[in-house]
Amino acid sequence: MHADLSRFTFRPERHYSAVVAQQGRVQLDADTNEQAAIQLHQARTLAADLIGPHGGPRDAAGFRIEYVGGKHDLDTLHIHGGRYYVDGILCDASRPAPGVPVLDEDDQETPEPLGHWTYWDQPDGFRDPEKPGDRLPSPAQSPFVVYLHVWERSVTAAEDPALREVALGAAMPDTAARVKVVWQVLPLSLAALEIEEPDPSKEVVRAAFAHWAQRRSAPSARLAARSERPDHADEDPCLVKPDARYRGPENQLYRVEVHAGGEAKDATFKWSRENGSVVFPVDELDGTWVQLATLGHDGKLDLDVGDHVEFTDTAHASRLEPLPLLRVEELDLPGRRVRLSAEPAPGVGRLPHLHPFLRRWDHHEGPRRKGRTTALRGGAVPVTEGSGCPWRTASRSTSPRAAATAPATTGSFPPAPPPAASSGPPTRPAARCSRPRPASPATTPRWL
């Protein structure tokens, strides 16, 4: 979750039922967020216990799938509206009610609104017909199942300007972020499920899918982060020495996120002192020059020459695709413009309704010292040690830091999934996978 947070304190294994505010105490974001997390965990656990791994209301169950083959158009799926629960997480496939159009004199009636999404226009899928890997193969050539990928991601005012309180003015930071349930209907070939039978039964497919989903969601790589206590700290505990490299009064939530996945020798990561929350909405892109809505609120949350940034938008954030990390080469402060080391990837940030933005990361190329690499690979830090398992793009670990404490923190990275797949005729719902972790792309599928 890319948001300006102090830390995550919710731990389901502690079995807390509520957060109790005490009089005269300082209130922190972590306490409020933990209360929301406790209630959400209770509600989803109750729903999963009553409904089971998956299910929907009798008269309003969503995600009925129809395969539509086109002679001249691309094949597609019809995703019918309604509600469905996956491990207690509510997924709503209903299309929003359209506005009432102003009729011309010649118009006799308004067209009926669609009651379904298609594979190409599902709200958080962002499938691209120009990409062969996004197309649905012919079921006759490559049979496939369809599964529901469910996860959560944070949304800030950079992606949804309606979240910003306009009365505070553009110079003030935004207030609260939001968490959004993302559902995506995706194909998976029977070959990826390692099914060799030419005409497998539903039970065989369900068992193979459950095994595939379990392998995809189980974490096997872990990251351990620890800060060092300065020498002679006990002699003067009130002095934070420059070697600690942190002298601010506020909490920091360090985020380490896998950028390019794969084996350890190929994988890279990026990190941020601000949990990846420093973003700059983009107004215009002209080659390598990017005009921003703001250059930051202060000297700590601004851009400097040498910073590495990720040029992305809502579509690529939902697809969890790694994009090149670019270096800030030049600043034009009066024009609110920055010149990047290269032009952003084609197809990214060119559509204003997808709300393009820059996300700042805090690593730099520099001289060798403990905890720093001398060279970057594509703007990211190479993984120099690994467990031998594949790394998954966008997996992350967070570590809270404050001036007075330096706790050791261990976080897990889910492994890379098997190759996502091909196609075949969709049928009816069945299977499940383990519950996704917030802001982590764990898969919660069912086969259709």
Burial 203-228 (b: 16+ CB within 10 A, else e): eebbebbbebbeebbebebebebebe
Beta bridge mates, 312: 357
pLDDT for the residue 415? 40
* Strand, helix or coil for residue 37: helix
**Residue type, position 426, single letter:** P
Is pLDDT at 242 greater than 80 in this prediction?
Answer: no
Contact between 226 and 356 (Cβ < 8 Å):
no
Strand locations in 293-343 (E): 308-312, 325-332, 337-340
Report how far residue 206's alpha carbon sits from residue 212's, in angstroms, rounded to the nearest whole number: 10
Is pLDDT at 371 greater than 60 in this prediction?
Answer: no
Residue-wise pLDDT tens digits, 169-181: 877 788 999 999 9
Contact between 424 and 189 (Cβ < 8 Å):
yes
Burial 267-289 (b: 16+ CB within 10 A, else e): bbbbbbbbbbbbbbbbeebeeee
Please state, in angstroms and as integers, the Cα–Cα distance from residue 105 to each residue in 41, 72, 109, 113, 272, following that order. Answer: 54, 34, 10, 21, 58
Is pLDDT at 120 greater than 90 in this prediction?
Answer: yes
Is pLDDT at 16 greater than 90 in this prediction?
Answer: yes
Tell me the Cα Rg of the chain: 24
Which DSSP letter does residue 401 get? Answer: E
**pLDDT bucket at 443, cuts 50 / 70 / 90:** very low
**pLDDT bucket at 246, cuts 50 / 70 / 90:** low
Report how far residue 209's alpha carbon sits from residue 428's, in angstroms, rounded to the nearest whole number: 14
Is pLDDT at 38 greater than 70 in this prediction?
Answer: yes
Is pLDDT at 40 greater than 80 in this prediction?
Answer: yes
Q: Which one, of 42, 54, 36, lies nearest residue 90 by Cα?
A: 54
* Strand, helix or coil for residue 424: coil
Tokens for 178, please give them: 């939001």
pLDDT for the residue 117? 93
Please state which of the ranges 132-136, 194-198, 309-313, 411-415 shows the lowest mean pLDDT. 411-415
Long-range contacts of 249-254 (CB under 8 A, 24+ apart): 249/403, 250/6, 250/402, 251/6, 251/7, 251/400, 251/401, 251/402, 252/400, 252/401, 252/402, 253/5, 253/6, 253/7, 253/8, 253/398, 253/399, 253/400, 253/401, 254/225, 254/398, 254/399, 254/400, 254/401
pLDDT for the residue 113? 66
Percentage of residues in the chain with pLDDT exceeding 70? 75
Mean pLDDT of the chain: 80
Contact between 87 and 444 (Cβ < 8 Å):
yes
pLDDT for the residue 188? 92
Which DSSP letter does residue 82 get? Answer: S
Per domain, the residue ranges of the chain are 12-51, 54-96+112-217, 223-413
Report how far residue 118's alpha carbon sits from residue 146's, in angstroms, rounded to the nearest whole number: 13
Half-sphere exposure of 165 (CA within 13 A, CB side): 8
Report how far residue 22's alpha carbon sits from residue 221's, in angstroms, rounded to the nearest whole number: 39
Is pLDDT at 239 greater than 70 in this prediction?
Answer: no
Higher per-residue confidence, 89 vs 371? 89
Tokens for 273, please give them: 């002192």
pLDDT for the residue 247? 59
Residue with tokens 């009089």: 23
Q: Which one, of 307, 412, 311, 360, lies nearest residue 4 by Cα?
A: 360
Is pLDDT at 338 greater than 60 in this prediction?
Answer: yes
Q: Which residues, including other chains, have CB under 8 Å from residue 102's CB and lie 6 or more apart?
A: none
Higher per-residue confidence, 182 vs 414? 182
* DSSP assignment string, 109-123: SPPPPPSEEETTT-T
Q: Which one, of 268, 443, 280, lies nearest residue 373 by Cα?
A: 268
Is the C-alpha dihedral spanning 98, 99, 100, 102 positive or negative? negative
Percentage of residues in the chain with pLDDT exceeding 90? 43
Report how far residue 257's alpha carbon sits from residue 326's, in angstroms, rounded to the nearest whole number: 16
**pLDDT bucket at 15, cuts 50 / 70 / 90:** very high
**pLDDT bucket at 322, cuts 50 / 70 / 90:** confident
Report how far residue 312's alpha carbon sits from residue 319's, in angstroms, rounded to the nearest whole number: 11
Higher per-residue confidence, 418 vs 35? 35
Does the pTM surpass 0.85? The reply is no
